[in-house]
Amino acid sequence: MTDENKSETEATIIDFEEKIEELEKELAQKNEEIEKLQGDLEKSEDETKEYIALSQRLQADFENFKKIQDKRNKDLVKFANENVIKDFLDCYEDFGRALETEKDEDLRKGIELIYNKFSDVLTKEGVSEIPAKGEKFDLNKHEALMVQKSDDVENGYIIEELMKGYMYKDKVLKYSKVIVCKK
């Protein structure tokens, strides 16, 4: 081998060694980047697992909340009339005592007392009678069972109330059954 060839070969070997060193440095950098990315990936996976667990807990909490609310709503509907029933039990007991009396006058007083208690309970709960006799006929509150001519009452006004009507707050519970004047 000639000196020239030898020097070219040595130069080529040196170039290769330099390239190998460069590539090793580059490989080391890439390995560091890969390790960093793997660390970031593991961290992201841990965060994702935490979020999934949190989401599952929140969903379970929400399902439990819905079950509790459903039970409360069912109980609310089931026992909605509890207070009214308690009030009516007092009236029921008074009827029992009134029926035990032997004098007609005591019986009448007892029944009047019970009637007044019933009236108070209904008023307290928002029930009121619909005024009828002498009032102008209103389809929203009255039901005309008959029409009659009358000189004493104006046309379209109620002559007589046959059955009372009742309102519960703003809603008609039972329409008044009436006789209306028609001329």
Per-residue pLDDT tens digits for 150-176: 888 899 999 999 999 999 888 898 999
Query: Is the confidence at residue 4, as pLDDT, over 60?
Result: yes
- At residue 127, the 3 state secondary structure works out as strand
Give the pLDDT band of residue 83 (cuts 50, 70, 90).
confident
When pLDDT is averaged across residues 73-81 and rounded to a whole number, the result is 83
Cα–Cα distance between 107 and 97 in angstroms, integer? 9
Least confident of 69-73, 96-100, 179-183: 96-100
Question: Side by side, which strands form the sheet with 176-181?
Answer: 142-148, 176-181, 158-163
pLDDT of residue 3: 66
Give the pLDDT band of residue 2 (cuts 50, 70, 90).
low
- At residue 164, the 3 state secondary structure works out as coil
pLDDT of residue 145: 93
**What does pTM read for this prediction?**
0.55
pLDDT of residue 90: 75
Cα–Cα distance between 58 and 75 in angstroms, integer? 25
Of 2 and 93, the structure prediction assigns the larger pLDDT to 93
pLDDT of residue 158: 94
Query: Is the confidence at residue 64, as pLDDT, over 90?
Result: yes
